[in-house]
Amino acid sequence: MAYEAFVIRGSKTIFLKKAIARNLYNKGIDQSEISELLKLSQPMVSNYCSSKEKIPEEITDIAENISQKIINGKAPDFHTCITFSDKSFEGNYFLANKNEIITDENIKIVNNLTEAFLILKGKNISGLIPEVKINIAMSKLKPTGSNDVAAFLNGFVVADDKIIGYNGIRFGRSKHLSSLLLGLKKDLDTNAIMNIAYIRDLGGTNFNVSYLTKEYKLIDDKDQVDILLHKGDFGIEPCAYVLGKDAVDVSKKVLKLINGLNNEK
């Protein structure tokens, strides 16, 4: 997740806090509260609020913006940023973890996951809903860790046996699916995975099926696998995992699975 940040040179920090203190005081905020918000002593806040010292215009603009955010309920946090560049980084920026920086590959993954959701949206998936949140995870082609795997934040929203929504897509969030997918990629040609409820009879669905050990290791040496089954363990729900080249491929296999299971009834 990206966070808004206001970057100024260290020499201007005093001016900034002085301007913010004045703004908040003029808007009726008590000096003791200003002291706590800006991590200043109360005598310092009193000095700032009564000072007639002129504040540089570029600082007053930033201070007004920050002051309004504080009034709206956001608490500021001051940090020191050290760079080794000749370029000035003053201004309004957004800070994000390295894995959340938008690259072409990240965009493709997010778009693919979104399309996968739209394929499944509104479809009746009764019988495939596990006790835990149902989710799809998709990795970069050459992942170095879980931060290179994206999934739906807190899984899909399900109502009346139908997938109806989701709360965002994030990299590095679905620990179980991402770690499982990264482990499987060492032996299988797969970039996406979806967890569904355990299915006892897949004989008539024409999928390549295999099993996982209790430790989530492949039980055989198959090169192509569509669905992996895990029989569960003490405190662990039995589960099935649908694999694919990407999230869209996975969602299409799930639809095919639904149709196959319905035809058997």
Domain check: are 202 and 258 in the same one?
A: yes
Domain check: are 13 and 82 in the same one?
A: yes
Q: Are 186 and 164 in contact (CB under 8 A)?
A: no
Query: Which of 63, 95, 127 is a domain's end point?
Result: 95
Name the domain count of the chain. Answer: 2
For residue 65, give the 3-state DSSP assignment: helix
Whether residue 83 has pLDDT greater than 70: yes
Among the listed residues 262, 265, 261, the one whose alpha carbon sits nearest the alpha carbon of residue 240 = 261
% residues pLDDT > 70 (the chain): 96
Whether residue 203 has pLDDT greater than 70: no
Q: What is the pLDDT, as a whole number, of residue 101?
A: 67
Residue 118 banded pLDDT, cuts 50, 70, 90? very high
Mean pLDDT for the stretch of residues 61-75: 91
Q: Are 14 and 37 in contact (CB under 8 A)?
A: no
Q: Which two tokens stand for residue 3?
A: 């966070």
Domain check: are 110 and 9 in the same one?
A: no
Domain check: are 165 and 43 in the same one?
A: no
Can you state the angle between helices 13-26 and 42-50, rounded to 10 degrees? 80
Least confident range of 39-48, 93-102, 116-125 = 93-102
Among the listed residues 11, 20, 7, the one whose alpha carbon sits nearest the alpha carbon of residue 64 = 20
Mean pLDDT score across all residues of the chain: 90
**Strand runs labelled E in the chain:** 3-7, 91-95, 136-139, 149-152, 156-159, 162-166, 169-171, 192-197, 209-211, 227-230, 239-244
% residues pLDDT > 90 (the chain): 62
More confident residue, 173 or 150: 150
Residue 246 banded pLDDT, cuts 50, 70, 90? very high
Q: What is the pLDDT, as a whole number, of residue 265?
A: 58
What single DSSP character describes residue 137? E
What is this structure's pTM? 0.65
Q: 193 has which bridge partners?
A: 137, 243
More confident residue, 77 or 89: 77
Which residue range forms the structural domain that includes residue 240? 103-264
CATH at residue 141? 3.40.225.10
Q: What is the pLDDT, as a whole number, of residue 113?
A: 96
Query: Which of 95, 124, 148 is a domain's end point?
Result: 95
Q: Read off the pLDDT of residues 33-49 as tens digits, 9 standing for 90 and up.
A: 999 999 999 999 999 99
Query: Which of 95, 114, 130 is a domain's end point?
Result: 95
Q: What is the pLDDT, as a whole number, of residue 2?
A: 64
